[in-house]
Amino acid sequence: MPHRLTCVNFPPFQDLVTGNLNLARTLEPNFRKVLYPDNKNNKKITMSIRLGGRPDHGRLVQQLLPGLTVSFVAISLGAAFGVLSGRGALAGILSAGVIALITAAFGGTRIQCSGPTAPMTAVTILLVTAVGGGLLVDHPGADPDRFINLVLLLTGLTLVIAGLFRLGRLIRLVPRCVISGFMNGIAVLIWIGEIRSLFGFAGKRAYDGGISLNLSVALVTLTLVFVLPAFLRRIDHRLNSFLPATLAAIVVVTCLATILQLDIQRITLGASIESFVDLKTLVAAQLPTEFSPGLIMLALPFAIQLALLAYLDTLLTSLVVDRKVQIMDRNAEITRPNQELAAQGMANAAVSLFGGIPGAQATIRSVLILNEGATTRLAGVMVGIFVLVEMLIFQDLISLIPQAVFSGVLLKVGYDVFDWGPVRDYWIRSWQNPKEGPQKPTELQVSHSAMSLIAGTTLMTVFVNLSVAVIVFSALYYVLHWRLNTVDLFESRDEFQE
């Protein structure tokens, strides 16, 4: 016998009822029937809800499949970013699973996938390089790995504090042209890092096996990542969902390298986890134990830089995800930014316990999980669970992957991160001849001043650091806007990039 629930005209509840899909998801899987009366005259809302009931197995499977699909992308990028950061593939994969699990369960964006991202990894590289270059020379007793983990712990605490002080709303103050510039700077940093690894210059040692062989492997991988999506789509459009191009390219090139017995540098996991004892040993070796004022002051600049980047990366992605859900489901989906910051802080603090790498909400993975049909938090939680299970099953095979394969993958990641739209449209508008008549419409309206801000932010990101670039050029934008009425980028359509 269904129980009858009567609720008076209560504004938050009215908002819930107005978004029919939101209400259905909130009550799933036991939702049966809801009556939507006209509430203009303060009428009561009457609902019939069946309490208890059998779980909807079809809806459960609907959440498992997107989680499984996106987990393949997450584990591939996690390994790649782990290698790129210098902390190892295992650290990257573990971080991909833990961050996805925590943020999906507790975050302010209902449907999402978080994990290691290119911007966060770029700053981690600077941190690892600084520690290896003598940053701790005045602290001879400090363990380098534990110090890096202390930075990650402080990063997490900073994000939690930002959430508690409700600083999430400030994301809308960062101009789009500055965001575009710092994304371009991240892409350039990734490209420079991988070119240095492949050719062995600027103080970096080239991969073992020879430059020509490693370069060939990287280029084959890069080509496959670009070409495979279109090839698989021609066979069956569903193949791209179950076989991501990144994963397929890694598997194909690794198999070729193994069959041909190429003498080439392979991935080093750094450790392996076969049992709970191994996990306990890993945590004991990585857990930060020294919290002296000197070390904390040394770690704080890196922690603040990572926290600022996680703030930008996460909340900008949440705006994209909210907009995507509104378009797909035709209902108002609004992220709780402060709750999301707190969850990201918890996740980044958690990875410090086992020597992981930091992360944030990832645009491509979040958009992909939506495209695969995810409608609840369970899908994002399953991404994390599947990544951890896959790591336990396949960790022995990961050591067969050539190092240059991940260079090819990361060159493509840099391409995806780079904000091509403003550059392309500015170029088109600049070369159009006014004598030929009205200019053709472009996707973005990019002024000379906006492009100058983009270029300046990019250069400062590459040659100084990310945080300084965002702060300086955001302030410069508002000064120019006040004095010269400079306008920001004007978008006529949405672009979803990581």
Mean pLDDT of 113-133: 91
Which pair of tokens denotes residue 341?
């910051």
pLDDT of residue 189: 87
Check pLDDT > 50 for residue 150: yes
pLDDT of residue 369: 86
Check pLDDT > 80 for residue 182: yes
Residue 103 CA, distance from chain mean position: 11
Q: How far is CA 362 from CA 109, 178, 212, 391, in A?
A: 12, 19, 33, 20
Nearest to 375 by CA among 335, 320, 325: 325
Cβ neighbourhood burial of 34 (10 Å; 0-12, 13-18, 19+): middle
Cis amide bond preceding 402, omega within 30? no
Three-state DSSP state, 445? strand
pLDDT of residue 56: 53
Nearest to 23 by CA among 52, 45, 39: 45
Diameter over CA atoms, the chain:
78
pLDDT tier at 116, thresholds 50, 70, 90:
very high
Which pair of tokens denotes residue 484?
């010269």
Check pLDDT > 70 for residue 263: yes
pLDDT digit string (tens) for 327-350?
676 666 788 999 999 999 999 999
- pTM over 0.95? The answer is no
Mean pLDDT of 36-51: 38
pLDDT digit string (tens) for 48-96?
333 344 445 556 777 888 888 788 889 888 988 998 898 988 999 999 9
Considering just the CA atoms, what is the radius of gyration of the chain in Å? 24
Nearest to 96 by CA among 281, 360, 322: 360
Q: Which of the residue ranges 110-124, 236-250, 393-407 would you say has the lowest mean pLDDT?
A: 236-250
Check pLDDT > 60 for residue 294: yes
Mean pLDDT of 420-442: 71
Cα separation, 114 vs 108, in Å, equals 12
- Give backbone dihedrals phi and psi of 113, rounded to 5 degrees, phi first: -145, 115
Considering the chain, what is the average pLDDT of its residues?
A: 80
Three-state DSSP state, 150? helix
321 in Cβ contact with 111 (< 8 Å): yes
pLDDT digit string (tens) for 201-256?
877 788 888 899 999 999 999 999 899 888 888 887 777 666 778 888 888 999 99
